[in-house]
Amino acid sequence: MIDPNVAQPIYGAFNAVLNAGVVVTSSTAPSLYGAVPLDNNSADALSRMVAAISIFNELPSGTDTFSYPPGSPKVWTQAQFLAMAKGAWQFRYACQVALATALASGQPFVAPSNAVSIP
C-alpha cells in the first residue's frame, strides 16, 4: 500500500487536472473554444448526454444544434459534440493510466495533454 503522504498529492493533482478538463479548439467553430470540465459530476453529465444522443440519434433540442452545458452560449452540432466527448473520454482515460502509474511508482502525477481539436 502506498504511503498516504505520497498518495494525497498524487490524487490532488489528478483531481485538479480533471476539474480543469479539456481545452477544445475548432477550426470551423471558434465559439466552441474553451474548457470542458471533467470532474466526476461533469463527466457523468457528459456521459449521459452522449448516451441519450446515441440512443435517440438526435440532439436534446430536437434541432441541428444545442447548447452544452445547458444554458451555455456554446452551441454544438451532433458531430462536434461527439468529437469533443470522444476526446474528453480519451483524455480522462489517459489521466487514469497516469494516476495508476504514479501510485505504483510513488512518483508525481504527470498529466497528459488536455487539448482536444474538433472539426
Digit-coded pLDDT (tens) for 65-109:
999 988 788 999 999 999 999 999 999 999 999 999 999 999 999
Residue 34 has pLDDT above 80, yes or no: yes
Q: Is the peptide bond before 69 cis (omega within 30 degrees of 0)?
A: yes
Q: Which triple of cell numbers denotes residue 112?
A: 497528459
Cell of 29: 467553430
Mean pLDDT of 37-63: 95
Instruction: Give the chain's mean pLDDT.
Output: 95
Q: For the chain, give every domain's residue range.
A: 39-106
Dist CA 90 CA 92 (whole Å): 5
* Residues constituting the chain: 119
The confidence band for 60, taking pLDDT boundaries of 50, 70 and 90, is very high
Q: Which amino acid is residue 12, in one-letter code?
A: G
Which residues, at least 6 apart from 113, have a Cβ–Cβ distance to it below 8 Å?
91
